[in-house]
Amino acid sequence: MRKIPVTILMIITVLALLKPDVLFAQYKSVAMGVKLAPNIGWIKADGDGYNSEGIVPGLSWGLIADFYFAENYAFSTGFSVSFHNGKISYPHIESQQSYAIGRLDRRYRLKYIDIPLLVKMKTNDIGKFRFFGQIGLQPGVRIASKAKDSFNSTAPVFNINTDWHNIDSQTNLFRATMLVGLGIEYPIDNSTAIVAGINFVNGLSDVLKGKNTIDGTIDHKGIPNAFELSLGIIF
């Protein structure tokens, strides 16, 4: 009976010498790095008389953490400090000027801490490169929100411009987004690689709150979206 454990030990030793990947995974189980991601964002306005007024550049930066559960599959997380900007316009009453009726053009500067919860899928090596796709949710917490306003009155005709001011009371504390992306990975050495990708950040929740000053039955609603170019290095 004592020969059985000895025989098993010999088999394991031979396998380890001849084919180590039979016993041990040949992929890195955890990879960490940093990223910088310039973006172009917009706010999708939802409401009678509310219009989106185009794209505005923004930026995010943060930490990448990939936890591999198979050679080409990982759970990707970390954190990002995200600056998401946009512009909308809507009907408005200006209380500081005898309650004049007009239209408010508002530019938003929204700052969040986002926590990506993604599944990342990679190809095998194609030359020196590996391609990957990722998809998942990205909840976030607002840490700052500011607005820059231009009010255009229709009767009487005049304009009021207001520089950047705090609007935390008019924005929701939490937001939810969905992230879908494609990218490429280029190894520098055995443990370091440069990564680049493009992501679509699709807003799932309304980030604005409050009522319209002309029609109190209309809620302020705005959903932020963005395309971002992500550049990073992983170790």
CB 77 within 8 Å of CB 65: yes
- Residue, of 140 and 155, whose pLDDT is higher: 140
- Model confidence pLDDT, tens digit, residues 16-25: 444 444 333 4
Measure the CA–CA gap between 206 and 80, rounded to whole angstroms.
20
Lowest mean pLDDT among 7-16, 123-132, 180-189, 192-201: 7-16
- Model confidence pLDDT, tens digit, residues 72-101: 999 999 999 999 999 999 999 987 767 889
**The pLDDT of residue 26:** 57
Between the alpha carbon of residue 115 and those of residues 108, 174, 182, 209, the distances in Å are 22, 12, 18, 23
Q: Reply yes or no on whether the pLDDT at 10 is more than 80.
A: no
pLDDT band at residue 27 using 50, 70 and 90 as cut-offs: low
Task: Specify if 124 maps to a domain.
Answer: yes
* Degrees, nearest 5: CA angle 68-135-122: 45
The CATH number for 179's domain is 2.40.160.20
Task: Specify if 61 maps to a domain.
Answer: yes
Task: Specify if 18 maps to a domain.
Answer: no
CB 204 within 8 Å of CB 232: no
Q: What does the block give as tokens for 53?
A: 């007024």
Task: Specify if 122 maps to a domain.
Answer: yes
Task: Specify if 126 maps to a domain.
Answer: yes
**The pLDDT of residue 60:** 97
> Residue 17 burial by CB count (10 A; 0-12/13-18/19+): exposed, middle or buried?
exposed
**The pLDDT of residue 97:** 66
Domain range holding 44?
Answer: 27-234
Q: What does the block give as tokens for 206?
A: 């309304």
Exposed e or buried b per residue across 18-45, where buried means at least 16 C-beta atoms within 10 angstroms of its C-beta: eeeeeeeeeeeeebebebebebbbbbbb
Task: Specify if 83 maps to a domain.
Answer: yes
Between the alpha carbon of residue 59 and those of residues 11, 78, 110, 167, the distances in Å are 55, 16, 11, 20
Domain count, the chain: 1
**The pLDDT of residue 135:** 98
Task: Specify if 14 maps to a domain.
Answer: no
Measure the CA–CA gap between 227 and 168, rounded to whole angstroms.
24
Helix or strand run (H / E) with residue 9: helix 3-18
Q: Average pLDDT for residues 198-213, to the nearest whole number?
A: 96
Task: Specify if 159 maps to a domain.
Answer: yes
